[in-house]
């Protein structure tokens, strides 16, 4: 367990925060525990306090006090991250953004919206329902927009609409020293200076606290159709996807569920799909364009040996299909109720995807583990849903080996250690394996913007920092109360 903030600093910091915010600074054990873990299997690291700010100004107040006491700050959205992003590894205060949940602007003609970070993606789409607009990024969970921004989320629609990287236009950020910046104006593009927006998208709370987000939205398509097609050969399924994308068919979703996942889904959702590797697709556009896309894809599917091609334009059937896709994790869990889910993802160039999945499947069998696979296959991104009995140390060890080999396999194939889950602290070592010396550049950026390492410390990059054991801050470098301890 890493070192936490010293008891004296903690008491002083909380006392000063209480002098401003009173009982809104919550320190009960149960509350802190509730904010100490995300949806992953990573342990629970409770913060020392939890606070739900209501405005950028309140965040500034907190950050200024925390900077004074060197008390860590961990922003919290909906808690749906998967690599321990919100664990308070070193204690500190959790900023629960739930009360900053307003849609501030809908700029219809500009196809953008301005939201607070606590707005969830479903809430946003509910809000937009009658405007003819929608926000496409869909990571499955009803994540907060702040969290999705911080983790560079993507999901099923990314193949057509891009990820958070492409869809965030501007951010308001409270920096580690309490300054408030806006990273960009509201124009669709800009060549004015360093791309601060993209620097904060995916920064996992380690460079500042995001308090406002300007997002691209899209017109709701006139027509939406879905299709399902099974393949006995995984390589053929992926080749069909490659051809689809090369032909420029603007498919909105193209998901792969492997044979094991289809078994689980049939059982859980009471469906009777062939238990083969299966593509789930969605097409958006005008009536004729959608029919055109479906027909072209059907030809491609036939060419690559796809089985019975089923498609539907009816909303109800479509929803049933995608609900099943979104229930994949539950379906997997139902295969082995006493196991915990260890969800992980990698992303490779699509030309290597079939090979990467097949090698991983062989390794799953060899490791005597259960791990269905689902993939955002248009992006070369896939998830392993490892089912692990955490009470069995030997099985955990086998799972760790499988996981490590999968990530290293992806890196060898010019892929990344995570396509959309992020680094958190679960994948710190893999970041180094992936980026090598570039991690030292990341470390320089972190040090430049957060020299005291107060912003979600221990995530993305490891730093050395001064941990204080006393409140005598006036003469820090000489103080006997200062000591240098490794961060993580």
Q: Does 219 bind a copy of itself (CB under 8 A)?
A: yes
Residues in the chain, overall count: 488
Q: Which of 179, 267, 390, 483 binds a copy of itself (CB under 8 A)?
A: 179
Q: Which of 158, 210, 262, 321 binds a copy of itself (CB under 8 A)?
A: 158
Q: Does 130 bind a copy of itself (CB under 8 A)?
A: no
- Of 191 and 484, which has the nearer Cβ to a copy of itself? 191
Q: Does 235 bind a copy of itself (CB under 8 A)?
A: no
Among residues 319, 328, 307, 459, which one has the least CA distance to residue 382?
328
Query: Whole-angstrom Cα distance, residue 341 to residue 329?
Result: 8
Query: Whole-angstrom Cα distance, residue 181 to residue 145?
Result: 18
Q: Which of 116, 154, 157, 211 binds a copy of itself (CB under 8 A)?
A: 154
Cβ at position 222, least distance to a copy of itself in Å: 8
Q: Does 381 bind a copy of itself (CB under 8 A)?
A: yes
Query: Whole-angstrom Cα distance, residue 408 to residue 306?
Result: 31
Question: Three-state SS across 330-377?
Answer: HHHHHCCCCCEEEEEEEECCHHHHHHHHHHHHHHHHHCCCECCEEEEH
Q: Does 260 bind a copy of itself (CB under 8 A)?
A: no
Q: Does 415 bind a copy of itself (CB under 8 A)?
A: yes
Cβ at position 349, least distance to a copy of itself in Å: 4
Cβ at position 169, least distance to a copy of itself in Å: 9
- Of 179 and 483, which has the nearer Cβ to a copy of itself? 179
Q: Which of 37, 144, 163, 301 binds a copy of itself (CB under 8 A)?
A: 163
Q: Does 435 bind a copy of itself (CB under 8 A)?
A: yes
Q: Does 298 bind a copy of itself (CB under 8 A)?
A: no
Q: Does 348 bind a copy of itself (CB under 8 A)?
A: yes
- Of 10 and 152, which has the nearer Cβ to a copy of itself? 152
Query: Whole-angstrom Cα distance, residue 415 to residue 351?
Result: 11
Sign of CA dihedral 255, 260, 266, 269: negative
Q: Which of 149, 203, 344, 360 binds a copy of itself (CB under 8 A)?
A: 203
Among residues 483, 479, 466, which one has the least CA distance to residue 69?
466
Q: Does 313 bind a copy of itself (CB under 8 A)?
A: no
- β-strand partners of 375: 256, 382
Report yes or no: 151 and 203 within 8 Å, Cβ to Cβ: no
Q: Does 216 bind a copy of itself (CB under 8 A)?
A: no
Helix 259-269 and helix 315-326, axial crossing angle in degrees, nearest 10? 120
Give the strand pairing for 73-76 and 93-96. parallel
Query: Whole-angstrom Cα distance, residue 421 to residue 81?
Result: 7
**Could you tell me how many helices (H) and strands (E) the chain has, helices first?**
17, 19
What does 418-481 look like in DSSP terms, one character per residue?
-SSS--TTTTHHHHHHHHTTHHHHHHHHHHHH-TT--BSTTSSS--EEEEESSS--TTGGG-TT
Q: Which of 57, 142, 195, 317 binds a copy of itself (CB under 8 A)?
A: 195
* Contacts for 177 with CB less than 8 Å, ≥ 6 apart: 63, 67
User: Which tokens go with 338?
Assistant: 């006493």
Q: Does 39 bind a copy of itself (CB under 8 A)?
A: no
Query: Whole-angstrom Cα distance, residue 193 to residue 199?
Result: 12
- The site string for a copy of itself over 78-117 (x = CB under 8 A, - otherwise) reads -----------------------------xxxxxx-----
Cβ at position 122, least distance to a copy of itself in Å: 21
Q: Does 181 bind a copy of itself (CB under 8 A)?
A: yes
Q: Which of 19, 28, 126, 286 binds a copy of itself (CB under 8 A)?
A: 286
Q: Which of 397, 400, 438, 476 binds a copy of itself (CB under 8 A)?
A: 438
Q: Which of 113, 461, 462, 465 binds a copy of itself (CB under 8 A)?
A: 461
Stretch that binds a copy of itself, among 58-66, 303-311, 398-406, 409-417 (CB under 8 A): 409-417
- Of 109 and 272, which has the nearer Cβ to a copy of itself? 109
Number of residues binding to a copy of itself, judged by CB under 8 A: 98
Q: Does 300 bind a copy of itself (CB under 8 A)?
A: no
């Amino acid at each position: 367990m890493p070192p936490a903030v010293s008891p004296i600093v903690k008491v002083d910091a909380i006392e000063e925060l209480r002098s401003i915010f009173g009982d809104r600074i919550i320190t009960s054990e149960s509350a802190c525990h509730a904010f100490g873990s995300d949806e992953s299997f990573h342990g629970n690291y409770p913060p020392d306090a939890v606070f739900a700010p209501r405005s950028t100004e309140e965040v500034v107040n907190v950050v200024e006090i925390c900077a004074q006491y060197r008390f860590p700050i961990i922003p919290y959205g909906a808690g749906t991250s998967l690599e321990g992003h919100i664990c308070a590894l070193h204690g500190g205060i959790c900023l629960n953004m739930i009360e900053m949940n307003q849609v501030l602007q809908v700029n219809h003609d500009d196809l953008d919206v301005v939201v607070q970070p606590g707005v969830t993606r479903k809430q946003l789409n509910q809000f937009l329902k009658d405007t003819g607009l929608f926000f496409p990024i869909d990571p499955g969970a009803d994540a907060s927009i702040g969290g999705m921004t911080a983790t560079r989320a993507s999901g099923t629609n990314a193949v057509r609409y891009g990820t958070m990287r492409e869809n965030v236009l501007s951010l308001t950020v409270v920096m580690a020293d309490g300054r408030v910046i806006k990273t960009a104006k509201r124009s669709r593009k800009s060549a004015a200076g360093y791309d601060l927006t993209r620097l904060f998208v995916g920064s996992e709370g380690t460079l500042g606290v995001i308090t406002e987000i300007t997002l691209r939205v899209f017109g709701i398509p006139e027509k939406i159709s879905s299709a399902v097609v099974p393949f006995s050969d995984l390589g053929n399924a992926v080749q069909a996807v490659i051809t689809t994308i090369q032909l420029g068919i603007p498919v909105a979703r193209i998901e792969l569920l492997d044979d094991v996942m289809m078994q689980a889904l049939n059982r859980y959702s009471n469906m009777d799909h062939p238990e083969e590797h299966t593509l789930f697709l969605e097409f958006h556009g005008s009536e004729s364009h959608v029919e055109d896309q479906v027909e072209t894809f059907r030809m491609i599917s036939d060419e690559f040996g796809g089985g019975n091609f089923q498609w539907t334009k009816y909303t109800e059937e479509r929803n049933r299909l995608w609900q099943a896709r979104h229930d994949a994790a539950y379906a997997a869990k139902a295969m082995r109720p006493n196991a915990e889910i260890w969800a992980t993802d990698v992303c490779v160039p699509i030309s290597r995807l079939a090979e990467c999945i097949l090698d991983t499947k062989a390794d799953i069998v060899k490791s005597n583990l259960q791990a269905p696979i689902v993939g955002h296959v248009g992006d070369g991104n896939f998830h392993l849903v490892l089912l692990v009995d955490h009470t069995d140390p030997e099985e955990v060890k086998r799972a760790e080996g499988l996981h490590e080999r999968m990530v290293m396999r992806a890196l060898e194939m010019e892929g990344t250690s995570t396509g959309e889950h992020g680094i958190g602290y679960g994948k710190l070592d893999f970041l180094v394996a992936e980026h090598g010396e570039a991690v030292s550049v990341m470390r320089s950026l972190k040090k430049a913007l957060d020299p005291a390492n107060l912003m979600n410390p221990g995530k993305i990059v490891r730093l050395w920092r001064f941990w204080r054991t006393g409140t005598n801050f006036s003469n820090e470098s000489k103080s006997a109360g200062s000591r240098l301890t490794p961060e993580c």
